[in-house]
Structures are given as C-alpha cells and as structure tokens.
Structure 1
Amino acid sequence: MNDFYKDALTAIVFFVGLFGFVSGEFIISSALFATAAIASNVNMNSKRSKTGKIA
C-alpha cells in the first residue's frame, strides 16, 4: 500500500470519528480515534525504520 493511501485512510478514519463524536456516537468515535492514532504511529515508525529518520 502506498504511503499516500495509508495517510488518506488514516485521515478518513479520523474525520469519520470526528463526525461520530459530533453526532453523539461516543463509543464508536472513541474506537475510530484510537484506530487512527494507532495507524498513524505504525506509519510513522515504519517510515522511521526504513529511512532512519522521520520523513
């Protein structure tokens, strides 16, 4: 999967979580925020291990 697609998918999950939070779906939005945070950290650590620095 391309880095752009990973970043786009993380952003989509974040915004869906934000929309869920505004709509009052707090449990679902919390799960989506957690998913976005974990995916973001995994992507950052993957980039760091490949290049030796943060891209």
Structure 2
Amino acid sequence: MNDFYKDALTALVFFIGLLGFVSGEFIISSALFATAAISSNVNVNRKRSKPGKIA
C-alpha cells in the first residue's frame, strides 16, 4: 500500500469520527479519532526513519 492510500485511509477514519461526534456517538468517535492519530504518527515515523536503522 503506498503513501497516498495510507493517508486517504487515515483521513477517511478521521472524517467518519467527526461525523460520529456530530451525531452523538462519542465513544465510537473517540476510538476513531485515536485510531487516526495513532496511524498518522506511525506513518510519519516510518517515513522519517531510514531503512536498516533501528529507531
């Protein structure tokens, strides 16, 4: 999976979390926001680290 699809999936999860928050599903939206934040941080850290180097 290339970077565009990972970023698009993260944005989609964030947007669904936003819709869930607006509709009143606070527990589900919190879980979706957390998933989007964690996946975004994992993607950023993978892009920064050099191949073969242990971070």
Larger Rg: 2
Q: Which runs of 5+ in 1 are unaligned?
A: none
Q: Which residue of 2 aligns with 1:10?
A: 10
Work out the CA distance in 1 between the residues paired with 2:13 and 2:45.
19
Q: Which runs of 5+ in 2 are unaligned?
A: none
Work out the CA distance in 2 between the residues paired with 1:38 and 1:50.
20
Matches within 5 A, 1:4-43: 4-43=4-43
Write out per-residue CA displacement over residues 21-52 of structure 1, whole angstroms, 9 at most, x where no aligned residue. 0000000000000000000000000000038x
Work out the CA distance in 2 between the residues paired with 1:44 and 1:31.
20
Equivalent residues, number: 51
Work out the CA distance in 2 between the residues paired with 1:46 and 1:15.
23
Deviation at 1:11, TM superposition (A): 0.0
Root-mean-square deviation (CA), in Å?
A: 1.1
Secondary structure (helix, strand or coil) at the match of 1:14 reads helix
Runs of 4+ deviating beyond 6 Å: none
* Length-normalised TM-score, structure 1: 0.89
